[in-house]
Amino acid sequence: MSEDLTNSPLGSLAYDPAPESASIARLQGSYGLFINGKFTDPSSHEQFTTLNPANEEALASVAQASSADVDRAVGAARRAYETVWSKTTGAERSKYLFRIARLIQERSRELAVVETLDNGKPIRESRDVDIPLAAAHFFYYAGWADKLDYAGFGPNPQPLGVAGQIIPWNFPLLMAAWKLAPALAAGNTCVLKPAETTPLSALVLAEIFQQAELPPGVVNIVTGDGSTGAALVDHPDVDKIAFTGSTDVGRMIQQRVASSHKHLTLELGGKGANIVFEDAPIDEMIEGIIDGIFFNQGHVCCAGSRLLVHESVADEVLRRLLRRVDQLRVGDPLDKNTDVGAINSAAQLARIKELTAYGEAEGATRYTSSCSLPDKGYWFAPTVFADVAQSHRIAREEIFGPVLSVLTFRTPEEAVAKANNSNYGLACGVWSEKGSRTLWVAERLRAGVIWANTYNRFDPTSPFGGVRESGFGREGGRHGLEAYLNV
């Protein structure tokens, strides 16, 4: 049988464009700061532009909050805490959270398009993952609000007060939900600072808070760059800082809140190891590797960016993996058939290019998807590095892009040693049909999250967080409440 038939080209049924309409986003020209239940102008009247990373076109102009604005927001949150929210019963708080969850569902299509436009992620992911999960978090914590006595923290656990929350650009709405839902359920008021490049979905969420008639000041949203975040971290009347983002910024925040009364939780970077044993279910494992690193263009703190393959099956796994990588549909994020979207910003693209250049210079073998990339916007073709050694930068540093480093191991001990040989400790995956081995490995991995025969699966009932330079504190589940209670 001829080679071309047995290696039948995949995806030869070319799909016509199936774009979701950008107008569903109903974007406004400019957005103010959401303080005390209203959109207000920043004191400096300064605005910045947020771009669509898929075509570099401006989407909207957004307010740059100064430290005076942050002060206003914190003041509003404090007043709301003292006068309203701390006097609101758990059952009442629960009603607001349920209402918010339902409104997110009602406006899910709009939110998905907003998220895809602002972030560059495929509409399939924002529609099927980000938005449903964000709603699920509000639903889940709505259930906890009137049951805090039974959360395992003793009777009548008290909120912390005003929480300052700084979130990243990779899952803008979902990270807002992860932060806000448990904080509100526990009885705190919030000042949320979305990422500079992806502020829009949080501002739509602010509209939802208005629709839900959440009391003014309970949630305030201040947009801006790093200086806005710094002002929030430094504000003396904030009781708690919750941050998700890079390890460098997390380290800086921890230094700044040291010797203050502020509680702190950090969810930082990662260099997740996806460990594949020879007896793994091969087809699902290949999909798991793909999901682990190419989901959300690899802009995932828990991405399975290091693939550790059992030596005996390494060639077979690599062959199948590369075939699958080549098949990924890269392009217009609004197209419903797109698998991999745009890199979120020029800065991030430059970082990915820099680190992959090191990969080649240090001697790893590079495979790049043959997909064509759009002319405008920030794009990076899915890339796999084979023959990677532990000492390579691409095996140690977080790339935060669609780049996979493949290493091999011979024994389970070696797999564990290599997986743990990292400053990070956020997530790992183990692929094997043998349960006893999976458990043996999982017990020895130093990471906050271990997935067995799956990867990048999230659920509001399950705690998520890291160890070592991946941070501390947990989000999700009963554990997620602890971060917002005085226990």
Partner 1 sequence: MESESQLRAFLASLSGVDAVGAEARAAKLATRSLKKSTKLTALDLAISMVDLTTLEGADTPGRVTSLCVKAMYPDPHDASVPSAAAVCIYPDLVARARTVLGESRVKVASVATAFPSGRAMLNVKLLDVREAVAAGADEIDMVIDRGAFLSGRVGQVFEEIVAVKKVCGSSHLKVILETGELATYDNVRRASWIAMLAGADFIKTSTGKVTVSSTLPAALVMLEAVRDFAETTGQLVGVKVAGGIRNAKDALRYLVLVNETVGAAWLTPDRFRFGASSLLNDLLMQRLKQRRGAYVRPDEFSGD
Which of these, 327, 340, 297, 287, lies nearest to 451 by C-alpha position?
Answer: 287
The one catalytic residue among 20, 125, 196, 301: 301
Does the footprint of partner 1 cover residue 133 (CB under 8 A)? no
Among 157, 216, 288, 473, binds partner 1 (CB under 8 A): 288
Q: How many CB atoms lie within 10 A of CB 386?
A: 20
For partner 1, the closer of residues 288 and 471 by Cβ is 288
CB of 288 to partner 1, least distance (A): 7
Span of 10-18, 51-59, 113-121, 361-369 interacting with partner 1 by CB under 8 A: 10-18
Distance between CA 38 and CA 51 in Å, rounded? 24
Does the footprint of partner 1 cover residue 29 (CB under 8 A)? no
How many residues touch partner 1 under the rule CB under 8 A: the total is 32
Q: What angle do CA 250, 193, 468 make, to 5 degrees?
A: 20
- From residue 468 to residue 487, the character string flagging contacts with partner 1 as x (rule: CB under 8 A) and all else as - is --------------------
Which of these, 284, 280, 288, lies nearest to 310 by C-alpha position?
Answer: 280
CB of 233 to partner 1, least distance (A): 39
CB of 377 to partner 1, least distance (A): 22
Query: Token digits for 242?
Result: 């919750």
Among 101, 163, 285, 340, binds partner 1 (CB under 8 A): 285
Query: Token digits for 332?
Result: 């217009």
Distance between CA 252 and CA 245 in Å, rounded? 11
For partner 1, the closer of residues 289 and 308 by Cβ is 289
Our answer to whether residue 301 is catalytic in this structure is yes
Among 15, 374, 376, 389, binds partner 1 (CB under 8 A): 15
Query: Token digits for 10?
Result: 């995949």
Span of 142-150, 206-214, 273-281, 345-353 interacting with partner 1 by CB under 8 A: 273-281
Q: What letters, b where the CB count within 10 A reaches 16 and e where it falls short, cover 32-64?
A: bbbbbbebbebeeeebeebbbbbbeeebbebbb
Burial (CB < 10 A; 0-12, 13-18, 19+), residue 371, is middle
Contacts of 252 (CB under 8 A, 6+ apart): none
- Chain-centroid distance of CA 268 in Å reads 10
Does the footprint of partner 1 cover residue 28 (CB under 8 A)? no
For partner 1, the closer of residues 165 and 432 by Cβ is 432
Query: Token digits for 452?
Result: 């067995």
Does the footprint of partner 1 cover residue 337 (CB under 8 A)? yes
Does the footprint of partner 1 cover residue 462 (CB under 8 A)? no
Distance between CA 378 and CA 375 in Å, rounded? 9
Among 454, 462, 478, 486, binds partner 1 (CB under 8 A): 454
For partner 1, the closer of residues 260 and 327 by Cβ is 327
Contacts of 150 (CB under 8 A, 6+ apart): none
Distance between CA 481 and CA 98 in Å, rounded? 17
Among 24, 84, 133, 282, binds partner 1 (CB under 8 A): 282
Does the footprint of partner 1 cover residue 281 (CB under 8 A)? yes
Does the footprint of partner 1 cover residue 287 (CB under 8 A)? yes
For partner 1, the closer of residues 8 and 156 by Cβ is 8
Does the footprint of partner 1 cover residue 43 (CB under 8 A)? no
CB of 24 to partner 1, least distance (A): 15
DSSP 126: I
Cα-based torsion angle of the residue sequence 475, 481, 485, 487 in order, rounded to the nearest 10 degrees? -90
Does the footprint of partner 1 cover residue 152 (CB under 8 A)? no
- Radius of gyration of the chain from its Cα atoms, rounded to whole angstroms: 22
Among 283, 311, 315, 360, binds partner 1 (CB under 8 A): 283
Partners of residue 330 on adjacent β-strands: 340
Partners of residue 35 on adjacent β-strands: 38
Among 284, 315, 354, 459, binds partner 1 (CB under 8 A): 284
Edge to edge, what strands does the sheet with 403-409 contain?
365-368, 383-386, 403-409, 306-310, 273-276, 427-431, 449-452
Does the footprint of partner 1 cover residue 435 (CB under 8 A)? no
Among 109, 336, 437, 446, binds partner 1 (CB under 8 A): 336
The one catalytic residue among 20, 125, 196, 267: 267
Among 246, 453, 462, 486, binds partner 1 (CB under 8 A): 453
AA identity, residue 199: P
CB of 130 to partner 1, least distance (A): 15
DSSP 20: P
Among 10, 347, 389, 417, binds partner 1 (CB under 8 A): 10
CB of 15 to partner 1, least distance (A): 5
Span of 199-207, 251-259, 285-293, 415-423 interacting with partner 1 by CB under 8 A: 285-293
Distance between CA 32 and CA 222 in Å, rounded? 9
For partner 1, the closer of residues 78 and 124 by Cβ is 124
Contact residues for partner 1, defined by CB under 8 A: 1, 5-18, 124, 128, 279-285, 287-288, 327, 336-337, 433, 453-454
**Which positions are catalytic?**
267, 301
